[in-house]
Amino acid sequence: MALTQQENALIARAYAAPMRAQVERWAAINSGTGNLAGLAEVAGLLAEQFAVLPGDICLVDQAPEESISSDGHVRTTQRGQHIHLAVRPGANRRILLTGHMDTVFPADHPFQMLREIEPGVINGPGVADMKGGIAVMLAALAAFEGSDAASALGYDVLLNSDEETGSASSAGLIAELARGKIAALTYEPAALPDGTLAGARPGSGNFSFVVTGKSAHAGRNPDDGRNAVIAAADLALRLAALRREGLSVNPAKIDGGGPNNVVPDHAVLRVNLRPLTPELEAEAKAALAEIVADVARRHDVSVHPHGGFGRPPKPLDPPAEKLFGLVRDCGADLGQSIAWKATGGVCDGNNIAACGVPVVDTMGVRGGAIHSDQEYLIVESLAERAALSALTLYRLANGAI
Task: Please write the tens of the pLDDT for every residue from 161-181.
Answer: 999 999 999 999 999 999 999
Determine how many CB atoms are found less than 10 A away from the CB of residue 38.
21
pLDDT at residue 379, rounded to an integer: 98
The list of the chain residues with pLDDT below 70 reads: none
Q: Which of 5, 7, 2, 47 is nearest to 389 (CA)?
A: 7
- What CA–CA distance (Å, rounded) separates 51 from 62? 22
pLDDT at residue 137, rounded to an integer: 98
For the chain, give every domain's residue range: 5-66+78-201+314-397, 204-311
pLDDT at residue 22, rounded to an integer: 98
**Is domain 5-66+78-201+314-397 classified as CATH 3.30.1390.10?**
no
Q: Which of 339, 302, 315 is nearest to 246 (CA)?
A: 315
- What CA–CA distance (Å, rounded) separates 156 from 56? 10
Tell me what the pLDDT averaged over the chain comes to: 97
- What CA–CA distance (Å, rounded) separates 131 from 103? 9
- What single DSSP character describes residue 341? E
Beta-bridge partner residues of 45: none
Q: Is residue 315 left, alpha or beta, with left meaning phi > 0 and alpha meaning psi from -120 to 50? A: beta
Phi, psi (deg, nearest 5) at residue 255: -100, 140
- What CA–CA distance (Å, rounded) separates 249 from 383? 39
- What CA–CA distance (Å, rounded) separates 253 from 208? 9
- Give residue-wise pLDDT tens across range 350-397: 999 999 999 999 999 999 999 999 999 999 999 999 999 999 999 999
pLDDT at residue 63, rounded to an integer: 77
- What single DSSP character describes residue 89? T
**Is domain 204-311 classified as CATH 3.30.70.270?**
no
The whole-angstrom distance between residue 209's C-alpha and the CA centroid of its chain comes to 24
pLDDT at residue 43, rounded to an integer: 98
pLDDT at residue 145, rounded to an integer: 98
Reduced to 3 states (helix: H, G, I; strand: E, B; else coil), residue 256 is strand
Q: Beta strand pairing status for 266-275 and 204-212?
A: antiparallel
- What CA–CA distance (Å, rounded) separates 87 from 85? 7
> How far are the Cα atoms of 98, 180, 200, 358 from residue 352, in angstroms, in the given order?
10, 11, 13, 8
pLDDT at residue 64, rounded to an integer: 85
Q: Which of 323, 327, 319 is nearest to 390 (CA)?
A: 327
Reduced to 3 states (helix: H, G, I; strand: E, B; else coil), residue 141 is helix
pTM greater than 0.85: yes
Question: Exposed, middle or buried, 83 (CB in 10 Å: 0-12/13-18/19+)?
Answer: buried
- Give residue-wise pLDDT tens across range 19-36: 999 999 999 999 999 999
